[in-house]
């Protein structure tokens, strides 16, 4: 790659190569790039073709002239200039587009990696990806702290495994694996997604075991290798459909009755919790803790910024206990008030009064 760089004019800035000064745009497409320049050696006025104008604007060209980057050939009489691109400007070597198995592994290596993790079972994948391949991709993306590695075709979750290894050895990155629950013929795992989840668990455990007893010279002892599994599903809340104008009073009354309890009876507390968490504007990866407030179970999200109570029986003591913690938001279920409008009104006033004079307003929501 360095071979084209020479220094025929003994430029003190070192080796360089001549780059094209024209582009593939026409004068109609780039009228600002269609102008004349003067060869200072021959004083000849030169125009580009209307079908291939200059690559640089007039101001950029003037800058190039001041910096001595316009090359008119060794005799200075060329009819078209070139741009002097110095080797020192290029920096590191660009990655090649072909990666041999010596550098990034191969299919057989990937199968052995999976079999080593699942030594107690018999896992077979036709085209698994080797860890070295995915790690190479992460490294080319620079894999900086907080970056997210997203794989929409997770398969056996090689990307997650590679991301965890990168986090241990380079810098901590996150990963999101997406995989359809494609059924497979297996006694232990029902879907490909199940195998992917198990691989992440086993890979994390293997990393922990390998790090036991090692000196923590880089302060990575508290490295987070945990993960959450979320499944795409229907809403836990029945959607309200606006009634048509032709709906009679009795029909409207029946529709309202159907939405008296608008929560799916088959929805678990975890289903409802995560749906409310996301709708409240929080990430599903936020830390979730459980609290006992006034004898009721309350979920604390993001160090108490969001509190959610899904109990069927709310009390004034609970409302006071939640307000004392001054969360940004508090969400509870409407059915928890058991039709007690006075308790609901008092709850609204409690949060309203506590918000007065506070640095941030406390939002009270009933769903």
What residue spans define the domains of the chain?
Answer: 16-90, 101-211, 263-366
d(CA 332, CA 351) in angstroms, rounded, equals 13
Those residues with Cβ within 8 angstroms of residue 365's Cβ, 6 or more apart along the chain or in another chain: 280, 329, 330, 331, 332
Q: What are phi and psi of 296, to 5 degrees?
A: -115, 150
Burial class (CB in 10 A: 0-12, 13-18, 19+), 345: exposed
Query: For residues 266, 270, 272 and 276, what is the CA-based torsion angle, rounded to 10 degrees?
Result: -170
pLDDT score, position 217: 61
Predicted pLDDT at 7: 95
Scored b (16 or more CB within 10 A) or e, 218-227 reads eeeeebeeeb
* Model pLDDT for residues 155-197, shown as the tens digit of each residue: 999 999 999 999 999 889 999 999 999 998 888 889 999 999 9
- pLDDT confidence of residue 88: 87
pLDDT of residue 27: 94
Count of helices and strands (H, E) across the chain: 11, 12
Q: Residues 294-303: pLDDT tens digits?
A: 999 999 999 9
pLDDT at residue 180, as a whole number: 93
β-pair partners for 341: none
Print pLDDT tens along the chain (367 aa). Answer: 788 899 999 999 999 999 999 999 999 999 999 999 999 999 999 999 999 999 999 999 999 999 999 999 999 999 999 999 999 888 767 777 789 999 999 999 999 999 899 887 776 677 889 999 999 999 988 888 889 999 999 999 999 999 999 999 988 999 999 999 999 888 888 999 999 999 999 999 999 988 887 766 666 556 788 999 998 888 888 766 666 667 677 766 766 666 566 788 888 888 999 999 998 989 888 889 999 999 999 999 999 999 999 998 999 999 999 999 989 999 999 888 988 989 999 999 988 888 776 666 788 888 8
Phi/psi class of residue 22: alpha, beta or left (left: φ > 0; alpha: ψ in -120 to 50)? beta
Best CA proximity match to 218, nearest among 304, 145, 152, 321: 145
Starting at the edge strand that comes first in sequence, how are the strands of the sheet with 70-71 ordered? Answer: 16-20, 82-86, 70-71
Q: How far apart are alpha carbons 8 and 124 in whole angstroms?
A: 59
């Amino acid at each position: 790659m360095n071979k084209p760089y020479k220094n025929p004019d003994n430029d003190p800035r070192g080796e360089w190569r001549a780059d094209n000064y024209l582009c593939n745009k026409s004068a109609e497409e780039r009228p600002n790039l269609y102008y004349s320049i003067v060869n200072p050696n021959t004083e000849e006025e030169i125009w580009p073709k209307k079908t291939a104008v200059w690559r640089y604007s007039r101001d950029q060209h003037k800058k190039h002239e001041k910096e001595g980057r316009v090359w008119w050939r060794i005799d200075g009489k060329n009819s078209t200039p070139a741009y002097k691109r110095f080797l020192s400007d290029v920096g590191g070597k660009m990655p090649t587009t072909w990666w041999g198995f010596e550098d990034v592994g191969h299919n057989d290596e990937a199968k052995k990696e999976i079999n080593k993790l699942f030594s107690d079972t018999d896992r077979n994948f036709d085209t698994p990806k080797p860890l070295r391949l995915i790690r190479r991709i992460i490294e080319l993306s620079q894999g900086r702290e907080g970056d997210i590695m997203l794989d929409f075709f997770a398969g056996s979750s090689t990307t997650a495994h590679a991301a965890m290894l990168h986090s241990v050895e380079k810098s901590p990155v996150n990963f999101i694996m997406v995989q359809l629950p494609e059924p497979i013929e297996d006694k232990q795992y029902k879907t490909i997604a199940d195998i992917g989840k198990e691989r992440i668990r086993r890979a994390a455990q293997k990393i922990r075991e390998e790090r036991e007893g090692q000196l923590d010279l880089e302060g990575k002892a508290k490295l987070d290798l945990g993960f959450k599994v979320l499944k795409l599903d229907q809403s836990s809340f029945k959607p309200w459909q606006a009634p048509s104008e032709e709906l009679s009073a009795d029909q409207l009354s029946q529709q309202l009755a159907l939405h008296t309890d608008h929560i799916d009876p088959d929805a678990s507390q975890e289903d409802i919790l995560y749906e409310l968490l996301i709708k409240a504007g929080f990430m599903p990866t936020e830390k979730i803790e459980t609290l006992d407030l006034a004898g009721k179970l309350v979920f604390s999200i993001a160090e108490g910024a969001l509190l959610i109570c899904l109990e069927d029986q709310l009390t004034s003591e609970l409302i006071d206990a939640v307000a004392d913690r001054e969360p940004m938001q508090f969400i509870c279920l409407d059915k928890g008030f058991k039709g007690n409008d006075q308790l609901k009104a008092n709850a609204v006033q409690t949060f309203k009064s506590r918000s007065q004079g506070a640095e941030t307003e406390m939002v009270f929501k009933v769903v």
